[in-house]
C-alpha cells in the first residue's frame, strides 16, 4: 500500500507579521499619495480665488473696466458658482436650490461644484462684486469649467460702484 503524502505549508509567525506590515505600509503609502494629490487640487483652487480677487480689485479700483480673464482650475471642479444667499434660487440655479441650502455661510458668495469631491475647499467670499446684478437672472450664477479653464468677463462702468461678472458668450 502506497502512503499518500500531503504537503504541509508552514509559515512562521514572523513571516505572517511581515506580510501584514507590508500590506499596512502599502495602504498607508496610497493614502499619503491621495492626500498629496488633493492638496495640489486645493492649492490650485485657492490660487484661483486669490487671482480672481486681485483682478476684481483691479477692475474695482479703475473708473471703467471690461476685461476677459482666464483661470486654471482642476478638472474635479465642474462649475464655479456665484450665489446671493439673500435671494431665492432662480433661472438655471433652481436645480441647485438644495445645494445652496447646504453651503450657506454668512457673507460668502462663491462656491465650487461639486462640493463632495472637494472635501478641503469651502465656499469663499469675493469682495467688491455686485452679487445682486450677477445673480439677477440665475441664482446661483455658474460658469462651467471647460478644459480646466474658467473664462469670465469682469465689467465695471464709470457709474457703478462694484464689479459685475458675466459669462463669455
Rg for the chain, CA atoms, rounded: 26
Task: Give dist(CA 120, CA 44) in Å, integer.
Answer: 12
Can you give the pLDDT at residue 164? 93
pLDDT tens digits, residue range 16-55?
899 999 999 999 999 999 888 878 888 888 999 999 999 9
**pLDDT (average), residues 87-111:** 72
Q: Which residue, 149, 150, 23, is CA-closest to 141?
A: 150
Q: Can the peptide bond before residue 114 be classed as cis, meaning omega within 30 degrees of 0?
A: yes
pTM of the predicted model over 0.85? no
pLDDT band at 124; cut points 50, 70, 90: confident
* Domain edges within the chain: 13-167
Task: Give dist(CA 38, CA 54) in Å, integer.
Answer: 24
Amino acid at each position: 500500500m502506497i502512503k499518500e503524502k500531503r504537503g504541509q505549508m508552514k509559515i512562521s509567525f514572523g513571516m505572517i507579521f511581515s506580510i501584514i506590515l507590508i500590506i499596512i505600509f502599502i495602504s498607508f503609502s496610497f493614502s499619503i499619495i491621495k492626500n498629496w494629490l488633493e492638496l495640489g487640487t486645493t492649492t490650485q483652487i485657492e490660487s484661483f480665488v486669490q487671482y480672481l480677487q486681485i483682478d476684481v480689485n483691479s477692475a474695482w479700483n479703475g473708473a471703467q473696466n471690461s476685461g476677459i480673464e482666464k483661470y486654471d482650475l482642476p478638472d474635479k471642479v465642474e462649475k464655479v458658482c456665484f450665489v446671493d444667499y439673500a435671494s431665492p434660487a432662480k433661472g438655471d440655479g433652481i436645480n441647485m436650490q438644495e445645494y445652496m441650502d447646504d453651503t450657506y455661510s454668512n457673507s460668502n458668495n462663491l462656491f465650487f461644484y461639486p462640493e463632495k469631491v472637494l472635501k478641503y475647499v469651502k465656499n469663499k467670499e469675493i469682495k467688491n462684486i455686485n452679487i445682486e446684478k450677477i445673480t439677477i437672472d440665475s441664482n446661483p450664477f455658474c460658469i462651467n469649467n471647460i478644459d480646466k479653464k474658467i473664462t469670465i468677463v469682469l465689467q465695471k462702468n464709470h457709474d457703478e460702484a462694484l464689479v459685475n461678472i458675466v459669462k463669455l458668450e
